[in-house]
A = this chain, B = another copy of it.
């Protein structure tokens, strides 16, 4: 089971991806493929629940989609014409099977499975109330709060109960749910996390976190699910409900910078195009004389292409990535421990030696990897190293579904750009400006009063209240039990 993912290192991590399908005899198989295309959104666990008209069938496991759903034997157990699936990234210690989604429960009205991308900011507060009432939690995920709220709702239909539950939670969520009659998709009122609607030529409906999951199954992109929209897919076709108070949306701008796959289209815009455009803006904002533009692979490539084109400096694959890094090569001996970044990257010496290099990367979180890459590039003979970053400095933690270190560990939290340049060991360092970033996504600048996107990790401007944070609800007390796998 390969649990380390190619986009590891010193990056922020998307915590989940979701997929749902209604009306195809081979629903589980399509879901497995969709999750495979969404693997970059969560590499630690995967799960699928299907419904065949009588029973729900579930399979969940730690590790990659292909490891868990690659065999026909497994797929066959998941029969039914409707299914939902989930891929999950989680921080160490919580990687327990009981937290792997989709969550499932037997209710008075029948069964219901839920998969969630995002993070609820008042989950702990509600959980406490529910436990006091006698509710027993089986996982430590925020998602289970929604399940219990549905169970105790006084409404009668599953849709009404779900809306009743969602009106009580706050935060970011793109959900897919599987009932005995329908597949349901919901996006929180701000639309922080993505969710798209597609359709197979056969007519079957699909919900997915990104359009690349539509492409893999041959589905056509229909439209983004709208912020605050609840979509019900059943034998009557598609119904759309907007049960929440209307507000301005705040889509996560980091999806464009790093999380989403470059071949996805989000909110009408190609992710790859945005990244190239950021590179162009960056070249304009912080030009420097150099001989070669080199991306930190793989995520820095599109921005580096844009930078090189705008600056008219040759683009070269000056750093080669080794894609064979599995889970286990983790510090077996001192020798390997001190190798650092070399297990994954090697300088293409012939194209670096004697040259002034511009390195393009997407972000700096703790700065650890950047330091090692710069050192490797210098050892390969670069005469100058200039680093250009395709995001503004990351100064704040995310509470909406992205795994960020505590704020104190963010390099940009307590260092200015000059200090960072010194620490990383570069001759110059520049980040794209906030306005530059907004220009790259098609705005003229960031509207400070009504920013179009959620950019809290750069600005601290959190669009949803952080009830659990303010109430001092630590994760520690979440369960008294630790369980061996």
Contacts and interface: CB of A to CB of B under 8 A. Distances in A.
A120 to B, nearest CB: 18
B70 A332 contact: yes
Q: Give the number of copies in the complex.
A: 4
A480 B324 contact: no
Contact of A481 (B75, B106, B314, B320): B106
Interface in A396-448: none
B302 A317 contact: yes
Interface stretch (A132-140, A232-240, A360-368): A132-140
A105 B136 contact: yes
Interface centre among A107, A136, A336 (most CB of B within 10 A): A136
A111 B481 contact: yes
Interface stretch (A278-286, A342-350, A451-459): A342-350
A110 B272 contact: no
A155 B262 CA distance: 57
A107 B315 CA distance: 55
A26 B334 contact: yes
A309 B273 CA distance: 20
A335 B263 contact: no
B107 A484 contact: no
Interface stretch (A36-44, A166-174, A246-254, A462-470): A36-44
A357 interface: no
Contacts of A324: 5-6, 36, 39-40, 43, 64-66
Interface stretch (A52-60, A183-191, A223-231): A52-60
A323 B66 CA distance: 12
Interface string A310-345: 000011110010111111111111111001001100
B484 A74 contact: yes
Contacts of A339: 33, 216
A263 B346 contact: yes
Contacts of A137: 105-106
Interface of A: 2, 5-6, 26, 29-30, 32-33, 36-37, 39-40, 43, 49, 55-60, 64-67, 69-72, 74-75, 77, 97, 104-108, 110-111, 131-138, 147-148, 151-153, 180, 212, 215-217, 261-263, 265, 270, 272-273, 298, 301-302, 305, 309, 314-317, 320, 322-336, 339, 342-343, 346-351, 479-484
Q: Closest 9 interchain pairs by CB? A: A70-B328, A270-B350, A134-B152, A111-B480, A72-B332, A263-B320, A134-B151, A66-B326, A66-B329
